Chain A
Amino acid sequence: MSARILIVDDEPNIVVSLEYLMKKEGFEVAVAADGEAALAQVAAFAPDLVLLDVMMPKKSGFEVCQQLRADPARAGLRIVMLTAKGRDAEVAKGVALGADAYVTKPFSTRELVAKVKSLL
């Protein structure tokens, strides 16, 4: 069974590109456009990995990450944070909140795919 990946981003074009990349690698993909939808999709779709944007309406990626990590039932869930802000403090915050990896936009598609594969 192929791994399931949830893509969370409010930029439609970025979602399109991520969706294409992940599907091409043979993953099953679901999409959410904001933090609240992301939490709902995690419950409904039960992904193995979440590609999570930080700056989103309604609920930021940090909050989503925190909430996911607070749920012991999802201890195995991998979280890759995606953000346009590459400052050290942001990276540290993401890692402190329990993200498995941190990718800065604009990202290299090959590196992103490699990172996702290495985590699964």
Chain B
Amino acid sequence: MLQGWVIVLAAFAYLGILFAIAWHADRRADAGRSLIGNPVVYALSLAVYCTAWTFYGSVGRAAATGIGFLPIYLGPTLMLALGWLVLLKVVRVAKANRITSIADFIASRYGKSQLLGGLVTVIAVVGVVPYIALQLKAVSNSFTILSHYPEIVMPDRAVAVPLWQDSALYVAAVMAAFTILFGTRHLDATERHEGMVAAIAFESVVKLVAFLAVGLFVTFGIHGGPVELFDRAREAPELARLMVADDTAGGYGRWAGLVFLSMFAALLLPRQFQIAVVENVDESHLKRAVWLFPLYMFLINLFVLPIALGGLLHFGAGGVDADTFVLTLPMAHGAEGLALLVFIGGLSAATGMIIVETIALSTMVCNDLLMPVLLRLPRLGLHERRDLSGLLLGIRRWAIALILLLGYAYFRVAGEAYALVAIGLISFAAVAQFAPALIGGLYWKGGTREGALAGLSAGFLVWAYTLLLPSFAKSGWLPEDFMSQGMFGIDLLRPQRLFGLAGLDEISHCLLWSLLANVGAYLGVSQWRTPNVREARQATRFVDGVIDRGADGWRGSARVKDLLPLAGRFVGPGRAREAFAQYARSRGAAGVEALPADAGLVHFAESLLAGAIGSASARVAVASVAKEEPIEIGEVLDILDEASQVRTANERLQELDRMKDDFISTVTHELRTPLTSIRAFSEMLNDDPKMPLAERTRFLGIIVAEAERLSRLINQILDLARLEAGRVEWIRGEVDLAGVVRESLDALGQIVKDKGAAVEMRLPGAGPVVLADRDRLVQVMLNLLSNAVKFVAPGEGRILVEVDAADGQARVAVADNGPGVRPEERELIFEKFRQGTGDGGTLTGKPQGTGLGLPISRRIVEAFGGRMWVENAPGRGARFLFTLPLKGGDNGGAIATGATGGSQ
């Protein structure tokens, strides 16, 4: 009964059901009652990951390598179970930026680069074509096998069949027609396809039911349950090895490689990105998918090994291709209905993959490859065309047909040389090249457009050289010695032994070299320059998830009457008008026409267009009507300047913060030191009432001195804090500097005498006169003089104090013959708590004092418009100087009063 027409009829009936579901879901969506607002539907649609490859190929792989089929399903399971935070971030960023495809995502991340979007598109198309070929191969093979029922005949090699008799060609044609009908009926502003998602969820159920049915049939129908099946298999020695892991280092390496690879594939394959990210309606669905999707994976893999073992037991090795066991086992046992169900299940798996993959690819080809080019060609006059949505749909339809044609061509050229699984892995390795740019772009702000371009190109070239070209060579399309001797006969360039690396399977080998080249180039080239303004803005949006609702870098403006028709051309006039009206309401404008022609409006139009034609194309389209003020080179420099000023200010703030921490920690230290002495001596006196009087007196003296030091320290800290905060009340008046010096010296007379120092004064009888706070100037002089006394050697000290005036400035100098200040410390000593160490060192190794005297003095002098610094005294020692503007002329620059010139 299973004649060809029955099978074809069943297939079309099934496709009809899918179409009906999609139609219904789209109608419901338009009515606002979405069918897919459900986490189960989302998780099921994610199972588009399981294609005909899973459906037929897993069993084939299990028959060859036992549980070696598992890593390809463990990867996606891990991706959702462990990597769902990454996935969540991708979903959020994509939604916020109205991302339409993986090419759009990467292009947008690196400054909306059209070149990058184009490159990703090319890699995706070239990389995924073998995968599509594999679906065609699976459907056409299963059709051929089933149509020979009840005989079991393996299909001829594709090349042996004339073109017009090749069922794969017809499968490709039907698929193209179906996908075009399915996915490009209308152009959606958000690039979402609710109907498609609903149909995919349905087909996921169908393929699962079909596969489970075969599994149950083989396990319980043909055999007496799993125990009996495995027992029988264990008796056959060549089957027993399938039930254990390949226990070699290479085996584990291969497992790890495949898990890694399929983990990426679950996110980076265009169809996975489309379903998981673009079609996601609610990010909370992701949380349910975290366990539902792995559950699906578990169920669809449950019977893989039993079916493989059943097939090997029934057919023996060779003769029947293990990739077909799912179909041929029911056929061999006369289960016609089940065989037909299996065919539908396989068709379902292939259809789901082809529909989503080609829709995703056609969107990319249209938005990221063709539109940017077409928009730039003025000869096409796209700007004058009233409605471009028809053109967009046309491009997509042609792209779908072309991609399927390419898939078919690959199938004819290389399809027969590989098992199903090997073909799929070639595609997996290609899309894995997106990982560094995409994941790096989500977590690292330093990536640049050139870095992403370099990484993708390098990875893609290595992939093509180590996997794609060999797949052609194995099909006889390239000369044999390309494989065995390397390009140009160079041994190190042997495609699957690159640089002599042996011992890896071809996939792990390719993965290692391509990702090494990719990551290396991405990181290396990104280091070459810092991200420019546009890249940096996108980096902030992607890495921090920050969406500035502002002008998005648009400096220009455009009027509604230009933007609205532009948007209308791409998304349809009605839809555009509706969106503009909504935007007008949100801005509080009276109507669409009342919208102000500003950068915000331009940004809104761009993001509306981005949903339809991708961010890179949208930018070009909007640029054609927006009057973007030309950015002059000067302005660019201004922007850069501003950025570096902000950076400098930021660094300064951090520096200040650090200084504050240092200050507090130093203050604490300085306060604790006298406290330690006070406490220690107090306790000692307290604990020892019989302490000799001499000791007691000495210790009490220390306590008093340390207490004085403590209060001096506190006073100075408070004084400095007030000075720094500018909260000092100055009592300004005319001050005679010579008088100040004399008064200060009188106050220190006793200390000077104690130290045995000689003081020489060179100052006028009165003046010069400055406008300042007298007490504060005395404080400065006391500080300088006591420092000088402190640092000179006892009995040998010579201190010279000079006061004079010149060029409107009064000048005071205090020189000593102490150890001096080393040149590198001349600024340091004016900082808080930084004391000079001196050359000779003092008796205790540490100068007495708080380390606050000089900073306070300098601030006081500066408060009255003067300067303070230190230089070498003639001969030996230090010479501290300060100047103050003379009282007199309006701006302090007048000729000195009569008191100029110092007496000798």
Contacts and interface: CB of A to CB of B under 8 A. Distances in A.
A108 B669 CA distance: 17
Specify which of A18, A20, A58 lies most central, judged by the most chain B CB atoms within 10 Å of its CB.
A20
Nearest to A82: B676
Given A33-B844, A33-B845, A57-B846, A14 B680 contact: yes
Given A21-B680, A105-B676, A110-B687, A10 B846 contact: yes
Contact of B672 (A21, A106, A108): A106
Contacts of A20: 684, 695
11 contacts: A13-B677, A13-B705, A14-B676, A17-B684, A18-B680, A34-B845, A106-B675, A106-B678, A107-B680, A109-B679, A109-B684
A33 B675 CA distance: 19
B432 to A, nearest CB: 44
Given A33-B846, A109-B687, 12 more contacts: A10-B844, A11-B846, A17-B681, A20-B684, A24-B688, A33-B844, A55-B669, A84-B672, A84-B673, A106-B679, A107-B676, A108-B679
Contacts of A58: 845
Interface in B644-676: 665, 668-669, 672-673, 675-676
A106 B676 CA distance: 4
Contacts of B673: 11, 14, 84, 105
Nearest to B841: A57
A11 B675 CA distance: 12
Listed from nearest, the 3 A-B pairs whose CB atoms lie closest are A84-B672, A17-B680, A106-B676
A105 B675 CA distance: 8
Interface on chain B toward A: helix, strand, loop, or mixed SS?
helix
Contact of A10 (B677, B688, B695, B845): B845
Interface in B830-862: 837, 844-846
Nearest to A18: B680
B2 interface: no
A92 interface: no
Given A12-B844, A84-B669, A109 B677 contact: no
A85 to B, nearest CB: 6
A12 B842 CA distance: 12
A3 interface: no
A95 B861 CA distance: 46
B736 interface: no
B387 interface: no
A119 interface: no
Nearest to A37: B845
A58 B669 CA distance: 18
A84 B680 contact: no
Nearest to A13: B677
A16 interface: yes
B282 interface: no
Given A13-B706, A17-B681, A85-B665, A105 B672 contact: yes
Interface string A84-120: 1101000000000000000001111110000000000
A57 B676 contact: no
Contacts of B695: 20
B745 to A, nearest CB: 28
Contacts of B677: 11, 13-14, 17
B498 interface: no
Contacts of A14: 673, 676-677, 680
Contacts of A84: 668-669, 672-673, 676
A24 B680 CA distance: 14
Nearest to A36: B845
Nearest to A17: B680
Nearest to B681: A17
A51 to B, nearest CB: 12
Contacts of A16: 702
B683 interface: yes
Contacts of A108: 679, 683
Interface in B673-718: 673, 675-681, 683-684, 687-688, 695, 702, 705-706
A29 B706 CA distance: 24
A109 B702 CA distance: 16
Contacts of B705: 13
Nearest to A112: B680
Contacts of B665: 85, 87
A2 B668 CA distance: 36
A84 B675 CA distance: 10
Interface string A1-33: 000000000111110111011001000000001
A10 B845 CA distance: 7
Interface string B300-312: 0000000000000
B186 to A, nearest CB: 65
Nearest to B835: A57
Contacts of B668: 84-85
Contact of B669 (A24, A85, A107, A110): A85
B711 to A, nearest CB: 16
Specify which of A10, A17, A18, A105 lies most central, judged by the most chain B CB atoms within 10 Å of its CB.
A17
Contacts of B684: 17, 20-21, 109
A55 B665 CA distance: 12
Nearest to A32: B845
A24 to B, nearest CB: 8
A62 to B, nearest CB: 15
B776 to A, nearest CB: 31
Contacts of A34: 845
Contact of B683 (A10, A12, A55, A109): A109
A106 B845 contact: no
Contacts of B845: 10, 33-34, 57-58
B409 to A, nearest CB: 67
Contacts of A10: 844-846
Nearest to B682: A109
A108 B679 CA distance: 8
A23 to B, nearest CB: 11
Contacts of B702: 13, 16
Contacts of A18: 680
B664 to A, nearest CB: 11
Nearest to A109: B683
A16 B706 CA distance: 13
